[in-house]
C-alpha cells in the first residue's frame, strides 16, 4: 500500500479519512458501512466526501439496526470482504453486543479455525461534551475482556492513520475506539506515514520517578500532568497503551520496574475497569519493585451528568493525575 502525499499538518479526523480512502482505493474488498456514513458524511465528518468518490455500494448508509448491520459486516467478512463497520458511538454498540461477542469473537474458535472474521468495527467513545449518561460511555475496557477480538485506541494522528491500515489487513476482528475529543486534534504527519503495529504500547515521555499509564482520550491530560510534575522535580514516564487487547504487559512492566511507582489513568469507571487489569498485572510482575500502591485515576462511579461542572468533576482531570502521582511518590495510593 503506497502512502499518498497529504499535507504535513493534519487533524486526527482527516488522517483517519485519508486512511479509509487509501484502503478503499487499494483493496476492492474494503467497504464502509454504518449509520449516516454516506449522505451525512459521517456523524463526526470522518467519511465526508467519500460517498461522492466511491459510490453508495461501498459507502453504505444503514438503517438504525446496529445488530443487523454489524452482523452483516461479520457475514460479509466471512464471505471474502474486508468491511469497515462504523457504529455511531460506543453507546449504541450495546445493541450489537450479541453479534460482536457471540459471533465476531467466537467464529474462528467455534469453527476450529475454518472461518476467520476480518472485520474492523470503528466507534467514537468517551465523554466531556455534556451529552449526558447514555452518550458518554467509555466501554473499550469492557470489550478488552473478550478473547477473540482485538481492541485498539489510537491516541495520536500517526496512530489513527497507521492503525487503520493494519487493522484492515488483520485477519481477525479489530475494534477501534476513537475518543470523540481527538477528532480535532492537530499534529504533523509524515509524508510517508506507514502502517503501524496493533499491539505495542508506546512510551510517549521517558521518566524515572513514576509511570503514568493511559490510552486514548486521556493521553493529553496525562502528558500535561507529566509537565506539571516535572516542574516539581518529579520525572514521569508516560505510556500510551495503544492496544487494550492485547495489553503490552512487557512495556508496562519494564517501565514500572524502572520507576517503582505507577498511576493508571482510565476514563472508564474504576470497578472492573481495564485499569484494574493493568494494576493486577503490575502487582503480579513488579511487586518487589513497588514503592507505593498502584494508583488509579478513573471516572467517578456515577452515570455521566449533564451539568458541566459535575461532568468535569466526574472525569479524570490533570489535577487528579498530578495528585495521584504525588501520593505515589510519598508512598501512598
**Which residues here bind other proteins, judged by CB under 8 A?**
31, 57-58, 62-63, 65, 67-81, 83, 98-99, 102-103, 107-116, 147-148, 150, 169-172, 260, 287-292, 330-333
CB of 196 to other proteins, least distance (A): 15
| CB of 43 or CB of 81, closer to other proteins | 81
Half-sphere exposure in the Cβ direction for 110 (13 Å, CA):
8
> Catalytic pick from 135, 169, 224, 289?
135
Distance of CA 95 to the CA centre of its chain: 20
CB of 146 to other proteins, least distance (A): 10
CB of 284 to other proteins, least distance (A): 13
- Residues 74/42, Cβ–Cβ less than 8 Å: no
| CB of 118 or CB of 217, closer to other proteins | 118
List Cα–Cα distances, 125 to 52, 131, 279, in angstroms: 27, 12, 23
Is residue 135 part of the annotated active site? The answer reads yes
Q: Which of 43, 56, 279 is nearest to 178 (CA)?
A: 43
| CB of 65 or CB of 184, closer to other proteins | 65
How far apart, in whole angstroms, are the C-alpha atoms of residue 39 and residue 20? 16
Is residue 66 part of the annotated active site? The answer reads yes
CB of 246 to other proteins, least distance (A): 9
| CB of 224 or CB of 291, closer to other proteins | 291
> Catalytic pick from 18, 22, 66, 267?
66
- Residues 175/121, Cβ–Cβ less than 8 Å: yes
| CB of 204 or CB of 327, closer to other proteins | 327
CB of 99 to other proteins, least distance (A): 6
How far apart, in whole angstroms, are the C-alpha atoms of residue 252 and residue 263? 11
Q: Which of 118, 114, 107 is nearest to 147 (CA)?
A: 107
Measured in degrees and rounded to the nearest 5, phi and psi for residue 214 equal: -155, -175
Burial of 303 (0-12, 13-18, 19+ CB in 10 A): exposed
CB of 147 to other proteins, least distance (A): 5
| CB of 13 or CB of 242, closer to other proteins | 242
List, by residue number, the catalytic residues. 66, 135
Amino acid at each position: 500500500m503506497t502512502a499518498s502525499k497529504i499535507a504535513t499538518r493534519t487533524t486526527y479526523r482527516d488522517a483517519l479519512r485519508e486512511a479509509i480512502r487509501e484502503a478503499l482505493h487499494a483493496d476492492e474488498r474494503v467497504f464502509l458501512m454504518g449509520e449516516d456514513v454516506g449522505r451525512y458524511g459521517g456523524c463526526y465528518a470522518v467519511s465526508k466526501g467519500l460517498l461522492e468518490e466511491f459510490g453508495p455500494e461501498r459507502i453504505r448508509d444503514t438503517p438504525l439496526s446496529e445488530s443487523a448491520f454489524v452482523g452483516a459486516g461479520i457475514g460479509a467478512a466471512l464471505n471474502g470482504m474486508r468491511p469497515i463497520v462504523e457504529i455511531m458511538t460506543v453507546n449504541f454498540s450495546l445493541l450489537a453486543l450479541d453479534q460482536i461477542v457471540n459471533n465476531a469473537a467466537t467464529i474462528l474458535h467455534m469453527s476450529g479455525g475454518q472461518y476467520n472474521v476480518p472485520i474492523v468495527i470503528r466507534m467514537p467513545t468517551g465523554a466531556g461534551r455534556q451529552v449526558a449518561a447514555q452518550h458518554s460511555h467509555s466501554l473499550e475496557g469492557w470489550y478488552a475482556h473478550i478473547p477473540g477480538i482485538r481492541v485498539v485506541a489510537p491516541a495520536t494522528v500517526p496512530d489513527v492513520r497507521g492503525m487503520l491500515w493494519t487493522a484492515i489487513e488483520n485477519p481477525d476482528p479489530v475494534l477501534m475506539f476513537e475518543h470523540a475529543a481527538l477528532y480535532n486534534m492537530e499534529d504533523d504527519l509524515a509524508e510517508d506515514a506507514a502502517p503501524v503495529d496493533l499491539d505495542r504500547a508506546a512510551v510517549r515521555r521517558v521518566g524515572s520517578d513514576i509511570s503514568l499509564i493511559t490510552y486514548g482520550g486521556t493521553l493529553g491530560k496525562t502528558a500535561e500532568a507529566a509537565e506539571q510534575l516535572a516542574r516539581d522535580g518529579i520525572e514521569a514516564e508516560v505510556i500510551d497503551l495503544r492496544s487494550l487487547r492485547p495489553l503490552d504487559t512487557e512495556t508496562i512492566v519494564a517501565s514500572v520496574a524502572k520507576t517503582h511507582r505507577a498511576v493508571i489513568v482510565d476514563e472508564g469507571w474504576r470497578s472492573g475497569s481495564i485499569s484494574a487489569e493493568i494494576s493486577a498485572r503490575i502487582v503480579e510482575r513488579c511487586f518487589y519493585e513497588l514503592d507505593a500502591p498502584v494508583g488509579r485515576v478513573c471516572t467517578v462511579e456515577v452515570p455521566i451528568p449533564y451539568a458541566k461542572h459535575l461532568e468535569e468533576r466526574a472525569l479524570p482531570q490533570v489535577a487528579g493525575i498530578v495528585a495521584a502521582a504525588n501520593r505515589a511518590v510519598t508512598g501512598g495510593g
